Amino acid sequence: MTQTINTENTQSQMRKGVLELCTLSVLAMGEAYPTEIIDQLKGSKMMIVEGTLYPLLTRLKNANYLTYRWEESTSGPPRKYYKLTPQGVKLLTELENTWDEMADAVNKLLKENKHK
């Protein structure tokens, strides 16, 4: 029993790929640890949860787009501070282009076919 199409579900689907771009974009400002990244994304109205972000960071790290260093915290366990590698910067640039092109295409289409 699957096959549910609804707005909520589609929102998740739309986030796919974009979350990767958004995470890289946050890290373009400088290193950050997961909770900081989540807070910044929430501040931009881009929802993301731990269960999504942690695996994503691990994938990006394994693919050499990110590195991290441990840092002690005064209020809890040590944190992993992530930052972009040169390849990560390159990937970010490419994904920004991909996003721009797709967003343009969608906006154009929606405008053309606007229903009253």
Amino acid at 97: N
* DSSP codes joined into one string, 40-80: HHHHTT----HHHHHHHHHHHHHTTSEEEEEE--TTSS-EE
Indicate the SS3 state at residue 113: coil
Per CB under 7 A, does 64 bind DNA? no
**Could you tell me how many residues of this chain bind DNA (CB under 7 A)?**
37
Of the candidates 29, 3, 16, 17, which has an alpha carbon nearest to the alpha carbon of residue 98?
A: 17
Token representation of residue 103? 């967003």
The 8-class DSSP code of residue 30 comes to: S
Q: Footprint of DNA on residues 5-44 (CB under 7 A)?
A: 5, 9-13, 15-17, 19-20, 33-35
Residue 88 near DNA by CB under 7 A: no
Say whether residue 86 binds its own copies (CB under 8 A): no
Question: Taking the complex as a whole, how short is the minimal distance between the CB of residue 79 and its own copies, in angstroms?
Answer: 20
Assess 110 for contact with its own copies (CB under 8 A): yes
Does 37 help bind its own copies (rule: CB under 8 A)?
Answer: no
Interface ranges with DNA (CB under 7 A) = 2-5, 9-13, 15-17, 19-20, 33-35, 47-52, 54-56, 58-59, 72-80
